[in-house]
Amino acid sequence: MFAIFKREVQSFFTSPIGYLIVGLFLLLNGLFLWVFKGEYNVFDYGFADLGKFFLLAPWIFVFLIPAITMKSFSEERKLGTLELLLIKPISVWKLVLGKFWGTFTLCLVAIVPTFIYVFAISELGVISGNYDFGVVLGSYFGLLFLIAAYASIGLFSSTLSDNQIVAFILGVLFCFFLFYGFEALSTLFSDGSTQLILKYWGARAHFDSIASGVLDTRDLLYFISITLMFLYLTLVRLKQLPK
């Protein structure tokens, strides 16, 4: 598994794609948070708070993570190298996990530089340093779980086609539906309890709960279950592919 993980990470940073993904994530966040006027702008918001970042980041990752994972298996299938990987003395499960942790690591590299936002916001307060770092840590914690879910979905999507563009589009659609689709469906019902149930099936409700600083085991189990489910579906799909 470590060999696959190492291969994935090296493939990201020996080509422009890794730097492009990290740079694009930081650029988009920086522009929306500090430059562009609007609802995500920290200065327009008027409070020394990073809440807008954690509202924006999940939407950016909806597009960026499928862009990272789209080549994970689709390119291997197109080049004919997937068959070589599957006949090597490594289990398919370890192959999937190696790809998953490679993607997760790249996303982790992308969010580490955003820690500077925490110190910037802390200095912008009326009292310098008077900032609830516990809530921020909880929000980052929730973001990591959301990234894991997105990564597993992106990997599954990449097994559905040998065309990277198709894999990217499917990944975006699946991630979007997981994060916002159930909440959108809830608006079609007038019954309050039905709305709450549908919202609870979506990732946004669980992410918002963790991001608010409340570490509920139900929210953690939700993301772990989603991640494991799509990793398992990836495993099943790979075993179904013709050797």
pLDDT tens sequence across 100-125: 999 999 999 999 998 888 777 776 65
pLDDT score for 209: 86
Could you report how far apart the first and last alpha carbons of the chain are, in Å? 20
Number of structural domains found in the chain: 1
Q: pLDDT over 90 for what percent of the chain?
A: 40
Give the model's confidence band at 9: pLDDT under 50 very low, under 70 low, under 90 confident, else very high.
confident
Alpha-carbon span 228 to 193, nearest angstrom: 28
pLDDT score for 33: 85
* Residues across the chain: 243
Q: In the Cβ-directed half-sphere of 44, how many Cα atoms lie within 13 Å?
A: 11
Whether pLDDT at 127 is above 60: no
Q: Nearest-CA neighbor of 59 among 20, 33, 97? A: 33
Give the model's confidence band at 132: pLDDT under 50 very low, under 70 low, under 90 confident, else very high.
low
Q: Whole-prediction pTM value? A: 0.90
Domain that includes residue 168, residue range: 1-240
